[in-house]
Amino acid sequence: MLVSQILKQKGDMVFTASPTDSVAAVAALLQARRVGAMVVLDQEREVAGIVSERDIVRIVAERGADGLPEPIAGCMTKDVVFAEPSETVDELLERMTDRRIRHLPVCREGRLIGIISIGDLVKAKIAESVAEAENLKAYISA
């Protein structure tokens, strides 16, 4: 299964933040939207970074409540790893496992078109396995 197929099923909504948003504001948005990461876009709407729950925990652990009013730009991941619509579930599972990341922004020709989580990939992999099992059962029964 391709990333583009997953995005067709789940949709292309991506929650974003600005580099100037406070750590507290982004943490509140992550909780309210029930997501584990947000893409950070600069003024030109280009990807400037990605911020995850792990990034929030790290800054709070290091600075305590003093870190909450700081801009998210100070704790976001700036070296963003991306996915492309033409990549497969297996390719992304390997990349995410190797890099120990759980979210990949998806870009086409430099433009953000979606986000894929490890949960999306596992769900797709399970659906693939179930379909394969059903096809084998049907073949054996025929």
Going along the chain from its start, the domains and CATH numbers come out as 3-141 (3.10.580.10)
pLDDT, tens only, 6-49 = 999 988 889 999 999 999 999 999 999 999 999 999 999 999 99
pLDDT at 132 (0 to 100): 83
Residue 50 confidence (pLDDT): 97
| Percent above pLDDT 90 for the chain | 81
Q: What amino acid is encoded at 134 in this protein?
A: E
pTM: 0.85
Burial class (CB in 10 A: 0-12, 13-18, 19+), 86: exposed
The Cα–Cα gap between 62 and 67 comes to: 8
- Whole-angstrom distance, CA of residue 65 vs CA of residue 70: 10
96-111 pLDDT, tens digit per residue, is 999 999 999 999 988 8
Helices (H), the chain: 3-10, 23-33, 53-63, 89-99, 118-141
Please count the helices (runs of H) and the strands (runs of E) in the chain. 5, 5
CA-nearest of 82, 84, 58 to 72 is 58
Q: How many residues does the chain have?
A: 142
Assign 136 to helix, strand or coil. helix
